[in-house]
Amino acid sequence: MSAYDPRAIANLMLDEAERHGIRISNLALQKLLYFAHGIYLTQNKRPLVSGYFEAWQYGPVHPAVYRAFKGAGSDSIAMRAVAKDPLTGKARDLPLPTDKDVRGLIAEVVLRYGRLSPGRLVDLSHAKGSPWDAVVNKARTEVAFGMRIPDTVISERFRHHKVSVDATPRAGEPPSDDTPFA
């Protein structure tokens, strides 16, 4: 089985959040998608989503998903990502995963982390020794192409996200939107 379109997984997350009355911003969606990808990757030894995550200022970001939902700004996302036919330019819905295990994982991630503030999600993604932390620290001494967080690094370091989970961020709330490192 190949990896899913990250926008389809994001749409599934937003649908699941909506079912539970959880409102999600683009910043929060990025962290939830990253956590789901990391859990799936470590459990199944293959990626959940295609593409890659980058180490941005406020944690891991999937550029394709960021672009799809950028229009929501810092508000809760009410729209869903669509695919565009490259020949006609017409939008079409992205097919949602039907795999019960994937749907269960997404539901679990949304219920477990979806109510945390964006600041707390950033704190979790910045845990010492985590994939984001490893890429950012490496970039201080070496060239890090696009600040990409390879799946190999996620597989090796995802376990470092073990920090206490509560609703209060340690570092305070970040700005409402994420930006790449300059």
Alpha helices by DSSP H, 45-161: 63-69, 100-113, 118-125, 131-139, 151-157
Higher per-residue pLDDT: 145 or 106:
106
Measured CA to CA, the distance from residue 39 to residue 42 in angstroms comes to 5
Q: How many CB atoms lie within 10 A of CB 7?
A: 23
Instruction: Report which of residues 129 and 159 the model is more confident about.
Output: 129
Averaged pLDDT, 88-105: 95
Q: What is the pLDDT of residue 86?
A: 86
Task: Give the pLDDT score at 172.
Answer: 42
Query: What's the rounded mean pLDDT across residues 31-41?
Result: 97
The rounded percent of the chain whose pLDDT value lies above 90 is: 73
What does the domain layout of the chain look like in residue ranges?
6-161
pTM of the entire predicted model = 0.87
Residue 177 in this model has a pLDDT that exceeds 90: no
Instruction: Collapse the DSSP code of 161 into the 3-class scheme (helix H, G, I; strand E, B; otherwise coil) and give the result.
Output: helix
Give the per-residue pLDDT at 143: 74
Q: If pLDDT is split at 50, 70 and 90, which confidence band does 2 have? A: confident
Encoded tokens for 117: 């503030």
C-beta separation of 60 from 131 below 8 A: yes
The answer to whether the beta carbons of residues 49 and 62 sit under 8 Å apart is yes
Q: What sign results for the dihedral spanned by CA atoms 98, 73, 118, 52?
A: positive
pLDDT: which is higher, 26 or 86: 26
